[in-house]
Every structure is written in structure tokens, then in C-alpha cells.
Homo-oligomer: A and B are copies of this chain.
Amino acid sequence: MAELVRVAVDAMGGDHAPAEIVKGAVEAVNADERVKVFLTGRKEEIEAQLKNHTFDTSRIEVVHAQEVIETAEPPVMAIRKKKDSSIVKALYMVKDGTCDAFVSAGSTGAVLVGGQVIVGKIKGVERAPLAPMIPTENGVALLIDCGANVDARPSHLVQFAKMGSIYMENVVGVPNPRVGIVNIGAEEEKGNALVKETFPLLKNCPEINFIGSVEARDIPMGGADVVVCEAFAGNVILKMYEGVGAVMLKKVKAGLMTSLRTKIGAWLVKPALKQTMKGFSTEEYGGAPLLGLNGLVVKTHGSSKAVEIRNSILQCVTFKEQRIADKIREKITLEN
């Protein structure tokens, strides 16, 4: 048998913890025999959930952690003080090599800060970007960076472009991914100071397939495979997806419920409509990796249910087998 991929999972993080997290972990080990999960958190609560499931007991371990970091806590302080929390314990397991990866639906801030502080960045990596998959008209794109570190410098964005290309090519399977920089126009001379300074650096970067500027309008249309931006813009893009999507869905639903006529029509169209809309949600794509670390850290949406947790864990297998961290290390170290 091949080597196991060992994934620490924050059993206490997210809106549906621990029930859905534990369920997702069980589904992951049942779906792929290369996976071993370490559930971190309150032992009794986790074990009470595990009793409801059937699984290979040699591939799920419970690691007790008494504390829980709440979403509202200031992350730096929480990481420093709550050493016995499900997040901090799991991150140390990645750091010391007990685990290959960590998946959490808990505090984004704590996962981002903890990932950089405890697991640590690959030598030469200036910043570890958070890179969620976003839906496009006929596929997906990688949005890099959506993390907590705003006010990026041009050199950061160049590293994001390289790391994002490696991820898209090796984990998602998009050959020679098209890299675009988010801009307010298509021309090279447009943009703010950051974009103007970064543009020529990307243009002169032989290892990536840089296609120039991508306007926000073209991101949902699939204008680029790797969408490079600093974290403030990335956050705005990601949350506009959620906001516009949610309001439009409400409008569609309202339209379907206006009269008896539309209600009958709704009954006829709903299943097909659900199907076509399904792919176009930012929550469909499991976790967002925090790239550039000495190990994999994956942040999933706070509202994640078992299916997202399962997918995020399974994603770690590809990440490890494709040796993404090594590939990033090679590419970034080469530069320095």
C-alpha cells in the first residue's frame, strides 16, 4: 500500500461542528483508502459523533484539545494564548510532520495567521496567499489572493502568479493556465500603482502564461484561469460573487412565486434550474489552500457541511501526491 496522506481536521470549527465535520472526515476515509484523519478538538464530543458512523478505525484518530478559537477573537492573540485549541494543536502536527495537511472551517484569521506563524512559509516565499476556487461560466478559476494580508507589493503578486499556476496545473489539471492580473481596463497603461508596477514583471516572467489584464466583468466569464490580485480586491471579488449570486437567486425565487401560473411553471423548471445554477456557487469547491507553506493548510467556508469537508480532505491527497509544496519550493528558491 502507498504511504498514507495524514490530514489533521479541526473538528470544532465552523457553523456545523462537530457533527458535520466528523461526518465529512468519515466520508473521506471511506472514499479513499490513502487517507488518514486526525480529528482535533474535544474528545468526548468527537467520539459521541463517531459512534454514529462505520469506518476503518485505524484511519481516524482523535487528538484531544480542550479550547476552541471563536470566529470573533483577534487571531494573533488567539493563536498565542490558546495553545490547547483544535486549530493550534492541528497546526503543530503539520509543523512537526505528524500530518501532511490541515483542514479547518473555523476562524479564517486564526487559520491564516497560525498557518504562517506555526507551520511557516517556504524559504523565499514572501507571503502565503489564500487561493479559493471560483466558478466561471464553463469551469473554475483560482482567485489568488483573498487572504488577510492586504497592501501587497509587486513581488508578492509575481509569486502569487507562480504559485497559482503550479496549483491550477497540478491539482486542478489545467495545462498551461492563463494568468491574468485584475485591472480596471484591458490596456497595459491602466491600473493603480500596484498593477502598473506588477504588469511588466509578470510580462517578463517566462514560467507563467501571462495573458495581461483581466477586468472584473470577465472573471465570471472565465477570462483567466489564475486571477491575480492583492487581498483587498480578492476579498471584494469573492464576496461580490456571494452577494450578487444570493440576491439574484432570491429574485428568481420571487419571480417563480408571483402567481398560480408561475407556481405551476416553477414546478416544471425547478429541477433543471437547480442543476444549471448549482455549479455557479463559491461554496461548491471545497476548501481554499493557503499556498507557500511547509505543508498544506486548507480553509473551508464557515458554513461547510460534510460534503465540503470530505472534498477538502480529498484535495489534500492530490496536493501531496503532486508534491505541490516541493514544486513551489523549487520554483521560488530558483529565483532567490
The interface of chain A, by Cβ under 8 A from chain B, is 74, 136-137, 148, 150-151, 182, 184, 189, 191-193, 195, 215-221, 231-233, 235-248, 250-252, 254-256, 258-259, 261-262, 264-269, 272-277, 280
Chain B residues with Cβ below 8 Å from A136 are 247
| Chain B contacts for A231, CB-based, 8 A | 184
Chain B nearest CB from A74 CB (Å) reads 8
- In the bound complex, what is the Cα–Cα distance between A95 and B254 (angstroms)? 47
Q: CA A224 – CA B185 in complex, angstroms?
A: 27
Taking chain A's interface residues, is the majority helix, strand, or loop, or is none over half, making it mixed?
A: helix
**In the A-B complex, the 6 residue pairs with the closest CB atoms:** A265-B268, A240-B240, A216-B239, A255-B276, A265-B269, A255-B273
Contact A248/B272 with A216-B243, A237-B236, A266-B265 known, Cβ cut-off 8 Å: no
How distant is A295 from chain B, measured CB to nearest CB, in Å? 26
Q: How far is the CA of A277 from the CA of B148 in the complex (A)?
A: 34
Residues of B within 8 A of A269 (CB): 255-256, 261-262, 265-266, 269
Q: How far, in whole Å, are A232 and B184 apart by their CA atoms in the complex? A: 6
Cβ contacts under 8 Å, A237 to chain B:
216, 236, 240
CA distance A221 to B192 in the complex (A): 28
With A236-B237, A261-B268, A268-B268 as given contacts, are A247 and B182 in contact (CB-CB < 8 Å)?
no
In angstroms, Cα B244 to Cα A264, docked, is 28
Q: Which residues of B contact A268 (CB under 8 A)?
A: 261-262, 264-265, 268
